[in-house]
Chains A and B, each alone.
Chain A
Amino acid sequence: GAGVSQSPSNKVTEKGKDVELRCDPISGHTALYWYRQRLGQGLEFLIYFQGNSAPDKSGLPSDRFSAERTGESVSTLTIQRTQQEDSAVYLCASSPQKAGTQYFGPGTRLLVL
């Protein structure tokens, strides 16, 4: 079946602009995660959604970062007033239930000039 999809695959923006990244999880997966992967680094947890529960936002690095999820489907990660240090690959993952195996999308590569 279809895996996790993310769009755009690449995004180049200017410092100070806002960006929106989209994630389409696997159908039926109730849990959705966002991670950031900086060059040469491991994945950093950003935010977690599970069903109708309040999201775990504990990994968001600043108030410029926010995310929303519509029901158990699409999620968007928004970065406001982008900075050069925001340049990274942003990965989305979903799992069929809380803490199940996480299936990752291909990521969005963000470059802030």
Chain B
Amino acid sequence: QQQVKQSPQSLIVQKGGISIINCAYENTAFDYFPWYQQFPGKGPALLIAIRPDVSEKKEGRFTISFNKSAKQFSLHIMDSQPGDSATYFCAASRGGGSNYKLTFGKGTLLTVNP
């Protein structure tokens, strides 16, 4: 049972464009939603995270939008740069982040063309 569904599987964006990656979850007990960025040959690194008490969180060019009623959250990368080319994973856990067991989506391979 896949509890976090991520789309698209791959995404190609031109430099300066907006990259949008979507995730949907099934478990209504989830209440912590991080996004991880992974470059080839490296481990994933936490990019940004949100809790369901807010609908949006922005850090620089990265924004998470959260829709609790639809059980969906998305990552927006504004002014996408070639250096943003990586695989992005959404994840979820419950217990306000106090539960260590993260459930990951399958990942989105983002390519930003110069």
Contact = CB atoms under 8 A, between A and B. Distances in A.
Interface of A: 4, 31, 33, 40-45, 48, 50, 56, 58-59, 91, 93, 95, 98-99, 101-107
Given A31-B100, A99-B97, A99-B100, A42 B89 contact: yes
Contacts of B42: 104, 106
Contacts, number: 58
Contact of B43 (A48, A50, A107): A107
A43 B3 CA distance: 12
Interface in B68-114: 89, 91, 93, 95, 97-107
Given A48-B100, A98-B98, A42 B106 contact: yes
B44 interface: yes
**10 smallest beta-carbon distances between A and B, as pairs:** A104-B43, A42-B104, A99-B100, A43-B104, A42-B106, A99-B98, A104-B44, A105-B43, A106-B43, A42-B105
B46 interface: yes
Interface of B: 4, 6, 41-46, 89, 91, 93, 95, 97-107
A59 B104 CA distance: 13
Nearest to A93: B43
B41 A43 contact: no
